[in-house]
Amino acid sequence: MASIAPETVMPAPPEWRIAPAQVPYAQALATMEARNAAVQAGTARELIWLLEHPPVYTAGTSADPAELIDPRFEVVETGRGGRYTYHGPGQRVGYLVLDLARRGKDVRCFVHAIEGWVIAALARFGVESWRAEGRVGIWTRDIDGAEAKIGAIGVRVRRWVTMHGFSVNLDPDLAHFGGIVPCGIAEYGVTSLARLGLRVSAEEWDAALAATAADFLDALAASANRACR
């Protein structure tokens, strides 16, 4: 008798949560850590959480104190990878608490999939963006023709459950990035959709992410088969 392959059980869709008001960074970090532990324990669903923060500088595990030029806002050590970054009003943050043990144990593919998701969402507004070799994040052409960062990525993985995620500049005060060397890259500037002449609301951006989320989750499924895309 021919053997029957066991049925593949896919994870349930993550919970989507959209914060109606700004969330202080320390509060968001505590929420993520609790959800991370609950997902590990199997007592909570995975989470995709979209929000904004009051102005804050965050330090990743590779942060160089010399790159904190003007600490005009609160500085929080995060435990995520990367260096210094800024969060504030007008910047949309996406936090991902996902179980990579069920979605492919490959952190490189996870970051690659996040980049692809943000690139696809930006394309819905006519913005061409890309990955850059050796520079984590999302890049586009600024109004002066120079390459500039429009989205940042920083993740942490604890027992194969992720934390942190990505941020995209809709219309933040770009002068606030002047207090740090963003992500340790001094040679390139930071831009936003508003600087590029596009007024995109948080609701419109969230809808673009939702419309492209299936491809993001499919990319994670592909990584489970050792095929980043």
How far from each other are the two terminal CA atoms of the chain, in whole angstroms? 37
SS (H, E, C) 199-224: CCCHHHHHHHHHHHHHHHHHHHHHHH
β 75-77/56-59 pair status: parallel
β 47-51/56-59 pair status: unpaired
Residue 183 annotated to the active site: yes
* Residues in CB range of 132: below 8 A, 6 or more apart: 139, 147
The answer to whether the CB of 181 falls within 8 A of the CB of 138 is no
Q: Check 183, 193, 196, 208 and give the catalytic one.
A: 183
Give the residue among 86, 191, 206, 175 at the shortest CA–CA distance from 140.
Answer: 191
Task: Tell me if residue 90 falls in helix, strand or coil.
Answer: coil
List residues with catalytic annotation: 183
